[in-house]
Amino acid sequence: MQPLLTSPQIKAADAYTIEHEPTSSVDLMERAAKAFVTCIVKHYPDKEKNIAVYCGTGNNGGDGLAIARLLHQARYKNVKVKIARFSDKSTGDFYTNLKRLRSIEVTEIHPGDKLPEEDAGILIDGLLGTGLNKPLTGAYKKLVDHLNSLDKEVIAIDIPTGFMGDGEVPADAAVLKANLVITFQQPKINFLLPESAKYMDDFVVADIGIKPEYIRQQNTPYQLLEQADITSKLKLRRKFTHKGTYGHALIIAGQPETMGAALLCSSACAHTGAGLTTACIPESGLIALNTAHPEVMAIVRKDHHPPKTEWNKFSAIAIGPGLGKHADALNLLQAAFAEFNKPMVIDADALNLVAENHLLEKVPANSILTPHMKEFDRLFGEHRNWWGRIEKLIEKAKEFKIYIVLKNQYTIIGTPQGMVYFNPTGNPAMASGGMGDVLTGVIASLLAQGYLPEDACLMGVYLHGMAGDDLALPAKLTTVVAGEVAKHMPVVMAKLKA
């Protein structure tokens, strides 16, 4: 896991590195500038373009001055510096780097000045860094609005000016919009939330050598999943094992008009490795199930009543995809809560039934809820922003002793222990119908195979996203369909253990 630090913790990590490496703050700034320029050379190799570096007078501005000098040394031919002197305050490292500038044109902008015309094709944003904790006003807001109006290619140093690394970002915040953010050491937490899409197209991480052992020791609930975490959890199949070794999953899903959800969920469960998969479906869906997935068994629901079954013969249950919200669906859900004494996966219509009928207290401990944003808000109340959802996710996961998988570009997993994990796999090509049904089947399969609920969550979202990446990225497809992700699960699992 990679711990994700808040802005104050990042500042403390810099200070720790300076003291214990030891190094000076200006030398650490030089290291950051070199890492930044290495990324620039990779992403923007044309050295003939005009570049304007906009600097504040703090340490982010100091980074900008060092970057301008290093770009000039790297033979970028047209580099200019523009310093926003909107305050009497400045840092020593800013002045050190200002003195080091040679052969670079420097212009100062003061409050009340006419805002500059700009002939550079690329703007580097070094105005303000991660220390910002309130929206921009005054001269900074005026400058940021002006630069946004120019429609230039913008590269931000560490964080876009006006954006906040963590905490609530106001909906009307003035932010210098970046095409690319080159951020230092690790992504800021807010980069992983949907609000960031309004202010940046992409980010890359530049390693500047902050002490990793210090970062690992920090008290933070926020963690970014890494492939090694998943590889270490994935179990190899052993000789002489059999279908009974790998559990029996029950998928309660589908109505006559929504059998696709049941088929996708069941397929994902079987392909992820459950020893046995049984689908509890309406009678009208039996031909479709037998035709599409003959390896999946069936329990037929008749006359809108729950089936008579031995609930505890199943290792895991997933309920909800395409289930509908009619009385028979509610009866099934309530029967499952009453009869099944193990963690289950609750998705889609089952989540809406829980919300509408106030059944959260009936959810078995350590169960896994997999809502998208709207389902999350139905369960836990409306939220103005994603930071509010994270705070509520932590609160409710602890209160009800459940795991919450909040689906997103970077899916967020909350645990009963108050931890928050972000998943880095997956891509926009997966934004298509049925993808959530597949994820539910994947997690249910892992739960049936005996993985702990937390591991089933973390592995499920990572492997599901990895399958989508495998299918989308090499061929640069615009869309990946859910059924193909389900079928690709054995491939990505084999890759991790190759």
Dihedral of the alpha carbons of 444, 449, 450, 454, in degrees to the nearest 10 = -40
Query: Could you give the CA distance from residue 269 to residue 278 in angstroms, rounded to a whole number?
Result: 10
Dihedral of the alpha carbons of 210, 213, 215, 216, in degrees to the nearest 10 = 160
8 A C-beta contact, residue 26 and residue 66: no
Give the pLDDT confidence score for residue 305 in this predicted structure.
Answer: 61
| Summary mean pLDDT of the chain | 95
Name residues of the chain where pLDDT drops below 70.
303-307
Query: Could you give the CA distance from residue 2 to residue 189 in angstroms, rounded to a whole number?
Result: 12
115-145 residue pLDDT tens: 888 999 999 999 999 988 889 999 999 999 9
Query: Could you give the CA distance from residue 51 to residue 166 in angstroms, rounded to a whole number?
Result: 29
- The DSSP result for 413-448, as a single string, is EE-TTS-EEE-----GGG-STTHHHHHHHHHHHHHH
Domains and their CATH numbers in the chain: 2-219 (3.40.50.10260), 227-496 (3.40.1190.20)
Query: Could you give the CA distance from residue 451 to residue 457 in angstroms, rounded to a whole number?
Result: 9
Under 8 Å CB-to-CB from 175, ≥6 apart: which residues?
136, 144, 160, 161, 162, 163, 198, 199
DSSP conformation class of 273:
T
8 A C-beta contact, residue 422 and residue 412: yes
Strand duo 403-406 + 412-414: pairing: antiparallel
Give the pLDDT confidence score for residue 304 in this predicted structure.
Answer: 56
Neighbours of 326 (CB within 10 A): 13
CA distances from 297 to 251, 253, 290, 346 (A): 10, 13, 8, 20
- The DSSP result for 353-393, as a single string, is HHHHTT-GGGSPTT-EE---HHHHHHHH---SSHHHHHHHH
Query: Could you give the CA distance from residue 54 to residue 67 in angstroms, rounded to a whole number?
Result: 11
CA distances from 49 to 52, 69, 77, 127 (A): 10, 16, 7, 21
In degrees and rounded to multiples of 5, residue 247 shows phi and psi of: 80, 165
pTM equals 0.95
Give the pLDDT confidence score for residue 323 in this predicted structure.
Answer: 96
Strands across the sheet with 50-55, in order? 105-109, 78-84, 50-55, 122-126, 153-157, 180-184, 203-206
